[in-house]
Amino acid sequence: MTVSVQRHDFDPGRESLLLTAGRHDIGAVVTFTGLVRDMAEDGGVSHMTLEHYPGMTEKLLAEIEAQAQARWPLQASRIVHRHGRLAAGERIVFVGTASPHRQAAFEACAFLIDWLKTKAPFWKLEETGGQRAWVAAKSEDDAAAARWTDPAAGR
């Protein structure tokens, strides 16, 4: 169980390999890598600046990861989230989960992504055609995260 908040880029392949290093009790690894898209409601995004509150961010990401560990039988998990000014196409986030069973790995990875999107204390500033605007929360992201708090969902 590890969390990194960093300015420098990461290698998704290397991060994935670290999840299984020396382990033979893992049957499934699920990963997600998020990228800066070059599209927004107001046009093409050239850059995105991600700001965060050091200390608080790492603590909250570790709490989210601990929730996933408590909900699913995970052998390993990893969250890497970048901050700073990133160009379109650059990697922002890596989430990886490893479990003896594929369904647990898939669900835990989806949970982590949904909760990172809605609960992680990052502020995003998009640069579009010479303009800069803060990215607002989206209702579809909140709806995706809500499925993990619905008692009928069983998780």
Superfamily holding 2-149:
Molybdopterin biosynthesis MoaE subunit (3.90.1170.40)
Rounded Cα gap, residues 61 and 72, in angstroms:
17
Q: What is the DSSP letter of 126?
A: E
Every domain of the chain and the residues it spans: 2-149
Looking at 21-84, list the stretches that DSSP marks H as alpha helix, in order from N- to C-terminal side: 56-71
Q: Is the pTM of this model over 0.85?
A: yes
Mean pLDDT by 10 residues, the chain (155 residues): 92 95 95 88 81 93 94 96 95 97 97 91 88 81 77 47
